[in-house]
Structure 1
């Protein structure tokens, strides 16, 4: 029996990994914000669509673009075994985020009376900030779950041997 040292990441390493993840989330989110705010402004100020409808349409488009970034770039190494579950949870939490964002915009516009074009953008920004925190926590916790770590080194070694054995016939062809 071989003795091994535990390979769990230290708290500093975990914090560093979380900060890298948060930066990736922010980068993808920033591209979604550009899509969201740009489309919102066009629909609301150029097309003349009501602000809450403009917000919902713009947010739906941003959700779709963000999903592609999260799944195929930021969380590409996460468990994708159940894509149907992942998409369902992503849409559920994104929908809740959209309700947070739209509710905040509606509150600032209809309750507080902030109804100029710039004030609507401010209300949308506030709602988006609150919804972003909610989305980050829910996506990383429930949607894009990390692959389970194998803690037994003997199991890891056995799995690597099995994978290597499966690859050999494929290489011979």
Structure 2
């Protein structure tokens, strides 16, 4: 029992009063699972529901996308940087925003790590390679050279495939063991 029990003397005799233990904050109840009393086992974080994980991942990704777009346009326009320099700096900033969003939000990790950031960066480079491959196959392999075809291949099909790769890589390689595990991620 988590509360306290005590006998209280009164005018008509003695009464036994039990007080309940203070309730844990809602956040703590949601992220921990009950452990049988007396086992001496610490509470482990409960798995993050997949829906919440996907929504958190997509939110961090959207913030990173906006960072990438705005910074690229600012570096190319008013600052006059070359396209590759502007894209490289914007990509690095977007990776940092996405990592922080996932580390501090989606996977609720208290801090950030250099190793995790390095793996996260490599996963994002792999995602960018998938987008470039989709664009290259469409443009050069299939001969679909219009602006619309390039947009659909790179920002449509490529973005969807790259996002799937990034989600898988983030949850299995970067934040493995952060309170969730399913049959398909190990």
Please give the secondary structure, in 2, of the residue aligned with 1:145.
coil
Displacement, 1:134? Answer: 0.9
Kindly report the root-mean-square deviation, in angstroms, between the aligned alpha carbons of the 2 structures.
4.1
Query: Aligned residue for 2:116?
Result: 86
**Between Structure 1 and Structure 2, which shows a larger proportion of helix residues?**
1
Q: Which has the higher contact order (CA 8 A, sep 6+)?
A: 1
The answer as to whether partners of 2:131 and 2:161 remain within 8 angstroms in 1 is yes
Q: Secondary structure in 1 aligned to 2:49?
A: helix
CA contact 2:135–2:154 (8 Å) conserved in 1: yes
Q: Return the index of the structure with the highest Cα Rg.
A: 2
Is 1:97 the counterpart of 2:127? The answer is yes
Q: Which runs of 5+ in 2 are unaligned?
A: 1-35, 181-186
Please name the residue that 1:63 is paired with. 95
Asked whether 1:141 is paired with 2:163, we answer no
Name structure 1 gaps, 5 residues minimum: 150-173
Which of 88, 91, 106 matches 2:136?
106
Aligned residues: 139
Deviation of 1:122 (Å): 1.0
Shift of 1:148: 6.6
Q: TM-score, normalised by structure 2?
A: 0.56
Map of 2:107 onto structure 1: 75
Structure 1 Cα separation of the partners of residues 166 and 85 of structure 2 = 20
Alpha-carbon shift at residue 123 of structure 1 (Å): 1.3
